[in-house]
Amino acid sequence: MTERARFDRGHTDDLMTFLAASPSPYHAVATAAERLEKAGFRQVAETDAWDAETSAASAAGSGGKYVLRGGAIVAWYVPEGAAPHTPFRIVGAHTDSPNLRVKPLPDSGAHGWRQVAVEIYGGPLLNSWLDRDLGLAGRLTLRDGSTRLVNVDRPLLRVPQLAIHLDRSVTADGLKLDKQRHMQPVWGLGGDVRDGDLIAFLEEAAGLPAGEVTGWDLMTHSVEPPAYLGRDGELLAGPRMDNLLSVHAGTAALAAVASSSSQPASIPVLAAFDHEENGSQSDTGADGPLLGNVLERSVFARGGSFEDRARAFAGSVCLSSDTGHAVHPNYAERHDPTHHPRVNGGPILKVNVNNRYATDGSGRAEFTAACEAAGVPFQSFVSNNSMPCGTTIGPITAARHGIRTVDIGVAILSMHSVRELCGADDPFLLAGALAAFLER
């Protein structure tokens, strides 16, 4: 048996299924909710009154609960007999990825080409979106205020790159893309651009009557499926691993803990937010009130007071799980010279003394204990002092809720590309560490 054979490739196979089923944040939370429901969770509405039965699992074993709001999901499992001041152990992640999103007036075109007007979401590697077969997915809002998911998962759009014969300087000077002029995809031919054509096409694709859609949140995605890569299949190439890899691992870990015969001492929580890629400031982002509201209502529904809420939050811990940078073999000088995370080396602990990551020494001890309990190796990541450091939902969660937070993740290459690359064993290792953390 090889060293790698001890890892569970079934988890990575399942991650590939999850990625393919989740071309938008709305699809990601629907897929996660479906998996949690199979583990006994049930949805509760934010507009309903929450009582003790809503907050906790019933004696009949109804499992955990979850709240959906747009592209975000918060799920939790209250063990039997948990006191109102019982602390929470939270896995935090985000459901959104950089991409091209459809504008309010989408129908465009010129010179006999029909195009879709798009806006750049987040910070994508624009060149990675060129000459890709793209589908279209997202959420349609109907006249009655209800929503419908739509996914055209076939080659529908393409952003064609300019031929080298018409841009002779591209090899020497590099590719220069104007976000407004150069990133509008084509989706057909026709001399006349007719307002409403794209939405009419999507209404038909979703099986809706003409004129039923009055709002939309739509985005492009590569239709190329995830795939193992490398001589021995030791790598995984796929879309949206930043950060659906963590959403999938967190969902699997929470479902496993809730289904276990042993009762955790804390309340396990999964919080997967939208809009991390553009600052998290929304009602479904980490800088919004969603997580705090859910946790507080859980405390109060179990008969707790503000004092119980304060005690619960003070004793809580959050693992903010997001992808990080593996050392790049062609650009090793861009990394810190003494911190070179490698793929398939286990999850990474992310540290930045300027609080771009929330990890401190006590957080390192917390994550060390979880990895030791799971038998999982881990690595440390810091940025090169000469390079600006990215950030995550970690510092936001810590500052907004006063909850001790640790930034972790999986090391990948090609972050923010339409197609990213990770080690095929690391998703399984991350899920094991998260489950051990939730069980502690």
Q: Where is the binding site, in residues?
A: 94, 165, 416
User: How far apart are the C-alpha atoms of 348 and 183, rounded to whole Å?
Assistant: 34
| Residue 203: both structure tokens together | 């209404």
Cβ proximity of 427 and 409 under 8 Å: no
DSSP code string of 215-245: EEEEEEEE-SPPEEESTTS-EEEES-HHHHH
Among the listed residues 313, 360, 276, the one whose alpha carbon sits nearest the alpha carbon of residue 89: 313
User: How far apart are the C-alpha atoms of 114 and 190, rounded to whole Å?
Assistant: 6
Provide, for the chain, the percentages of residues in helix, strand and coil under a 3-state DSSP scheme, each rounded to the nearest 5.
30, 25, 40
Amino acid identity for residue 260 in this structure = S
3-state secondary structure of 73: strand
Query: How crowded is the C-beta side of 203, counted as CA atoms within 13 Å?
Result: 16
User: How far apart are the C-alpha atoms of 437 and 435, rounded to whole Å?
Assistant: 5
Cβ proximity of 402 and 346 under 8 Å: no
Task: Could you list the residues known to form a binding site for Zn(2+), using ranges.
Answer: 94, 165, 416
**Structural element, H or E, at residue 421:** strand 420-423
Alpha carbon of 120 to those of 24, 72, 137, 422: distances in Å?
A: 15, 21, 15, 25
Alpha carbon of 272 to those of 71, 203, 212, 357, 433: distances in Å?
A: 8, 29, 30, 17, 17
Backbone region of residue 46 per phi and psi (left: phi > 0; alpha: psi in -120 to 50; beta: other values) = alpha
Query: What number of helices (H) and strands (E) belong to the chain?
Result: 11, 20
3-state secondary structure of 430: helix
DSSP code string of 87-101: -EEEEEEE----EEE
